[in-house]
Amino acid sequence: MISYPTGKIYIGKDSVGSFRYFGSPDIAVVNEDFSKLPKQAQKKYCVCKEILWESETATEEELSQQELHFIRKYGSNNPDIGYNRFPPFKGE
């Protein structure tokens, strides 16, 4: 789970174990939210990465299932909460 200073999150999967992986949210959406932050917050900020689940033996299919599980659990596909756009948010 990637937490941004905008208050929103992104849930992603990393099947290669890269410490540099910080997700792939729609950059235009992230930039729009960042533009609403105070100038000082735009100039100096932290992005936090939290590993929610890991496995040495999971298949790509299992990894994808876990990703969807956490997207739903944290509601990161809700545009008010996060940057995931799949699965599409149906409102609740």
Segment 23-35, tens digit of pLDDT: 899 999 999 999 9
User: For the whole model, what pTM was predicted?
Assistant: 0.93
Distance CA(46)–CA(69), nearest Å, equals 26
Spatial contact of 4 and 10, defined as CB atoms under 8 Å apart? yes
- CA-wise closest residue to 55 among 17, 10, 3: 17
Q: What is the pLDDT of residues 3-49, one digit of tens each?
A: 999 999 999 999 888 899 998 999 999 999 999 999 999 999 999 99
Domain boundaries, the chain: 2-74
